[in-house]
Structure 1
């Protein structure tokens, strides 16, 4: 994780040095997670936009392009699914002050279990050679069966919690699995809260009109 963080920092430094991006309002202490495009960044963005427009619109006879307004009636965002879907269950670590998606932390733990299953299967494949039956091994080896059972139990709990919007259950899963902060190793978590990623905007001279 530390290596990935260093790589990301180096990438940001490179992009700033060569004029791809700059932190927005940097001379006024900046605005977190908001960036301005520099000379190369503008060209890169326009190239990507042009390629996307060509491949998704112009190369199809049954598709026409429009440039719709960003500001729309609230019911439009509701009907499109943005209001319901653009919500993330986030959890903070009290010691590192880092914020994470609770479901992603749990999914990463599931990936670790899958890695253990794959490791056991590879060991068995080397031991038994050409006669190795992976399907049978998965259903008969006690250790692999234990990993599979644990994986399925977590997946079932996670799916139910996400479907029901049960934030307390998400935190309980994290605590039951003893999931630690990837950076600090701390298990001192806040409650899971649902964060709406949509921005609220008011139109009119007086807010609320």
Structure 2
């Protein structure tokens, strides 16, 4: 009797567990079906639909208007046969309204900011009360004009400079920003030459042909070293 009751209890528990599993599965299926109700597979790929509906941007429209496939093929054939020379990398090709192509150089587009060498005019110097300032070298490095400046004091007293007071102007009287490097704040009266640089952005020199540098002592500002009419073109 004991064995039979144990078997019956075991079977009852198994049936109860199976029933609970079936009920849980049915409940989960019902919830999932309700959640996905109204959701269907799209007829076409969403990315393809967006690509078809997207309007071309203004740059793409202009590019399509400017570039003609037949003209490009004819030009390529002419280059390969030697009838037309290939364009240089520094030239920019534009197309007019009637389809004619024209070539603009860097100087026509305003990209030419090259400054001439100042070696023929150097050195340029000024001397006041035994203190000498001179420009010994000028070069263009990247987007800046670099002036090598020497200072020497053969006077009797030490001279102090504050380079935030350095005035750099062009021939039109416009003040230009400049960065100094390596120039001494105190110039001893021993005749020793000190060298540094004055850096001026070439973007400020677009319409300038000459420069002037004015350096005064600090704090008295009674000593004026003036380098004028420095040609840069």
Q: TM-score, normalised by structure 1?
A: 0.18
Asked which structure has the greater CA Rg, the reply is 2
| Larger RCO of the pair (alpha carbons < 8 Å, separation 6+) | 1
Indicate the structure with greater helix content: 1
